[in-house]
């Protein structure tokens, strides 16, 4: 593979991208090379496909060239073969919910996290949404319930499953203030949740990309799309405030 150039703040232009593709990317919030590099050319290609745009592997090559800041003709056959392999191995991609919708439901998850903090639990909250309505809420309470599985996501999934009368939550989204752990990620996949939106990353136990990425295992029989960093600053701040208060109480 050719070495990828350092990202710049340059706008994506034509060439190497077709004019229509530049417009599509702008609609997805991708207007600069560094944004395309962060998203990745293969994932971006699949997001365009999921949005209903007519795309071919030629556009995939153009996206990679744009990310590198070169013309598509400069990609070698080895480059193109590598991109095709990445495309074949990539798990399915879905589009994220609308920003207003994400904000509304993440706020609900943050409120659930506040309930956990009030009970002395690590402040993590979650809600399950179907067709624009919350069908399950949950907050972290393993200490109070003396249950190691009582994470916010599990609590919300249980409530949603009771509401639906089925452990399979097809067509449902889960919003959670912290990146899910291995246990919760497994439950999310088992429940057939369509999308997960999480706030703050969890560098110690996160199983959606921080420590490992269960959601990226293509050979699993179900795939859940994951979107991280939604209201991340507010979610991380809630967590930091909780532990700061706990330290002050310990020092008193």
| Active-site residue list | 153
Phi, psi of 97 (to 5 degrees): -70, 165
Q: Which of 243, 250, 252 is nearest to 121 (CA)?
A: 243
Query: Can you tell me the distance from the alpha carbon of 179 to that of 99, in angstroms, rounded to the nearest whole number?
Result: 19
Phi, psi of 215 (to 5 degrees): -70, -15
Bridge partners of 173? 129, 195
Cis amide bond preceding 39, omega within 30: no
Cis amide bond preceding 15, omega within 30: yes
Q: Give the chain's radius of gyration (CA, Å).
A: 20
Bridge partners of 227? 197
């Amino acid at each position: 593979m050719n070495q990828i150039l350092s990202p710049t703040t340059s706008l994506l232009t034509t060439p190497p991208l077709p004019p229509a593709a530049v417009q599509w990317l702008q609609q997805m919030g991708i207007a600069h090379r560094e944004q395309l590099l962060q998203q990745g050319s293969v994932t971006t290609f699949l997001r365009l496909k999921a949005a209903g745009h007519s795309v071919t592997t030629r556009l995939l090559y153009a996206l990679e060239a744009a990310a590198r800041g070169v013309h598509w003709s400069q990609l070698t056959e080895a480059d193109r073969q590598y991109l095709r392999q990445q495309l074949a191995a990539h798990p399915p991609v879905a589009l994220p919910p609308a920003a207003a919708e994400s904000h509304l439901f993440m706020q609900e998850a943050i409120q659930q996290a506040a309930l956990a903090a009030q009970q002395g639990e690590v402040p993590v909250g979650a809600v399950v949404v179907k067709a624009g309505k919350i069908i399950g809420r949950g907050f972290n309470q393993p200490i109070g319930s003396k249950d190691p599985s009582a994470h916010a996501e599990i609590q919300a999934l249980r409530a949603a499953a009771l509401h639906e009368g089925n452990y399979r939550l097809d067509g449902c989204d889960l919003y959670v203030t912290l990146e899910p752990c291995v246990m919760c990620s497994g439950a999310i996949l088992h429940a057939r949740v369509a999308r997960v939106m999480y706030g703050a990353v969890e560098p110690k136990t996160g199983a959606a990309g921080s420590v490992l990425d269960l959601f990226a295992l293509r050979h699993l029989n179900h795939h859940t799309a994951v979107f991280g960093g939604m209201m991340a600053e507010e979610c991380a701040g809630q967590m930091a405030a909780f532990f700061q208060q706990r330290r002050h109480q310990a020092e008193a």
